[in-house]
Structure 1
């Protein structure tokens, strides 16, 4: 995408936009927040519904992991390609296509009668989410040319997404406890249809840039991630020395190495290689990967742990997870308030260290550990992640500069999804055959603490931007 096009998308400049189709700011915001709300809630409610789904559909643990990771796999793998498609064919067209795919796939999830059908439907959901996610923020910034109104709408949009992220487990618990697990997917139908109708009527199109998508590089990345996911998820159940697992592991290495070689030789790589020569940019991406590795792996474990080890209902599990899930939202608010005074880098180091220590405090969790102690430690860790994530984003975007702002943002989003994908798979490994759920929980908290500690060390050594302060 040209720098002029990037400027139009980021700043919301009216140049190159079609005439405003009318409708108040609230209608535009609702149209473009609908997709993010569905995708955000779907990424968290499934952790509460997982136990019921496993029991009622008679799933192996690896199949349950695929239900979680299948969605993240296609979503993460196709994010960068979807951004190119939005540039090539128009953001509004791709947004509407993604919403339609997501709604149809949600209906298929809700009607699934066995594990393979649910897994395939979840993967198609991920395709839909990948299509509408990059386009939604582009359309949002373009819909509000006035800088003050745009800032306000982006802030409201972020608040809506953060709120539903926190409420996801509660929504899942209520739905599963009252209407059954299928309802968590059927809820997407009215939300998605309303979003499609509002977007068609009130959101203006952005003219296509006719940029040729990098199909080969994206295809190699998708194949590599599919093979890696199969290796990590099926390894514990099929055996690490089984032929399918060995072949998939070898295929993952071949595809990912080929991707690196192809990108180094390409005149137009997916991500400009000069960015990765910047140690701050590379380290910030690794920090983003580790943050989501620990966070999403931990959420996956907690939803299952509360129901299987503590014996609570899905509804009560959702209620018990709410204090833990509010942490990221509070951390975001604290960052906005104090980052000008303390500097993003200092906040990031402190936040990651706090998250690591809080996770390590649960290494001795047992059946005598009270709920309040579990909730407090996880809540503090998640607060640290909520405080650190925007600081990490700030450092990465500052290192990339205005020229590469759009591609840097897309790379970070995809990379964080990869972290969540591998984190869920890794926690799935330690939960597959533990002697007890408490042993699995202790291993999971150890993994989380290591991730956050490693991220803090990376920040300390390599992230050099983001220390500008104002008083």
Structure 2
């Protein structure tokens, strides 16, 4: 394995915040991008039925509308982190916000499903630019560990509030103004974010590192082939001749990427950081967590509308008691994070989320609404602690100086988890084709993913922490 190139970003190279840039304004500026990215996953779920009806989109096309965004988002995240190092995190953050703004306008004006899918792909590019920069700028804006942990909790709470309220707000907007309004919603948020960032966020260091362009292209090709196979497989048949090309691309691009990483000096992935168990653990938890959370939210929105006959407004309101716990649990994390290690909190609340999800493996169209709401609500209490906890665990393991690349890797793994989770839920629902059994299978997969993440957190984050804790006490 070749030497991993330097990826450090010294904190001393970050300018002090501009005059009048209070911590609250800095936090708000850096949360707006994440808010838009989170909204555009949860809100579209509620609008799915209206989009299908208005644009005459199939389930496969709807999955592309949701997953196409996530595909490009996850594919370009590592490149976005490299660009942040090379061109400056603030510059890349602002460019990403601008691209996302324009693409959101394109989504709102899309006349058919194909144009909407295309605009969603461009949205993914914008999100991939500003997401890693958002985390790195936040970490660099608050270098003191205790304040940084608190700000990460508040940052996650702001984002979770928007994601949690997203389905309800989306239901109201869709019922009152049509599905296009959910994309118009991004426009004022984007303007606020761009203006606040220009005024309140200091410039970060620029490092003229060489980008691993061939490696990134192979990474994008492999993920695109995997996504195409997962989304189109149920419709075409897994042995269809049309899938031979994506299967071949996945194998060839994946193999070529591995071969390149073994001999290249400028790597796509910072393999040196993966030698740290807690860094590996945080990334594994991130993948499984997003698989479970966003896969279940995609399925739930369809379950409420197709199995229970809810319209967009009612579905959004029925999701509110399930999602309102995200921001509340984020605030709880900000209060208890100083008392318990991140690994301990992750293990405990992943177990809570997993057990709560497994109680729903008998759900069908006749299951009382409040039974579903309580079980999913308890799982989401766990999710509200897990999200900031794994981000803090990652930053602690990688160090603030590696914030750009570490944030890119975590977000890439999380978005791949979202991509695979939504695709797998779509496969299950399309294969079972029965709203009395499909959701039950989905909940089983969600519960198992949470439990697997709990095992990973315990083995890779908690256990390596314990000798250090003993030494510190001694």
Alignment TM-score, normalising by the size of structure 2: 0.89
* Aligned 8 A contact 2:70 2:415 in 1: yes
Match of 1:112 in 2: 110
**Do the aligned partners of residues 118 and 258 (structure 1) sit closer, same or farther apart at CA in structure 2, a change above 3 Å counting?**
same
Q: Secondary structure at the match of 1:438?
A: coil
Match of 2:129 in 1: 131
Q: CA deviation at 1:162?
A: 2.0
- Residues 376-424 of structure 1 show CA distances to partners (whole Å, capped at 9, x for unaligned) of 1111112223333444444444444566555333211210111011000
**Do the aligned partners of residues 399 and 89 (structure 1) sit closer, same or farther apart at CA in structure 2, a change above 3 Å counting?**
closer
- Could you tell me which of 179, 187, 198 is aligned with 1:200? 198
- Could you tell me which of 317, 322, 329 is aligned with 1:331? 329
Do structure 1's residue 313 and structure 2's residue 316 form an aligned pair? Answer: no
- How many angstroms apart in 1 are the aligned matches of 2:229 and 2:374? 35
- Could you tell me which of 167, 170, 175 is aligned with 1:169? 167
- How many angstroms apart in 1 are the aligned matches of 2:23 and 2:282? 34
* Aligned 8 A contact 1:264 1:273 in 2: no
Q: CA deviation at 1:251?
A: 1.1
- Could you tell me which of 10, 24, 45 is aligned with 1:7? 10
- How many angstroms apart in 1 are the aligned matches of 2:28 and 2:211? 29
Match of 2:289 in 1: 291
- How many angstroms apart in 2 are the aligned matches of 1:59 and 1:456? 38
- How many angstroms apart in 1 are the aligned matches of 2:290 and 2:389? 14
* Aligned 8 A contact 1:71 1:123 in 2: yes
- Could you tell me which of 442, 452, 455 is aligned with 1:454? 452
- Could you tell me which of 368, 371, 394 is aligned with 1:370? 368
Do structure 1's residue 84 and structure 2's residue 82 form an aligned pair? Answer: yes
* Aligned 8 A contact 2:290 2:418 in 1: yes
State the Cα RMSD in Å.
Answer: 2.8
Match of 1:465 in 2: 464
- How many angstroms apart in 2 are the aligned matches of 1:30 and 1:3? 31
Match of 1:121 in 2: 119
- Equivalences for residues 31-430 of structure 1 within 5 A: 31-142=29-140, 156-400=154-398, 404=402, 406-430=404-428
Equivalenced residue count is: 466
**Do the aligned partners of residues 366 and 333 (structure 1) sit closer, same or farther apart at CA in structure 2, a change above 3 Å counting?**
same
* Aligned 8 A contact 2:136 2:407 in 1: no
* Aligned 8 A contact 2:101 2:190 in 1: yes
**Do the aligned partners of residues 18 and 404 (structure 1) sit closer, same or farther apart at CA in structure 2, a change above 3 Å counting?**
closer
* Aligned 8 A contact 2:99 2:126 in 1: yes
**Do the aligned partners of residues 193 and 244 (structure 1) sit closer, same or farther apart at CA in structure 2, a change above 3 Å counting?**
same
- How many angstroms apart in 2 are the aligned matches of 1:145 and 1:402? 7
Q: Any unmatched runs of 5+ in structure 2? A: none
Match of 2:437 in 1: 439
- Higher normalized contact order (CA 8 Å, seq sep 6+, divided by chain length): 2
Q: Secondary structure at the match of 2:9?
A: helix
- How many angstroms apart in 1 are the aligned matches of 2:458 and 2:233? 35
Q: Any unmatched runs of 5+ in structure 1? A: none
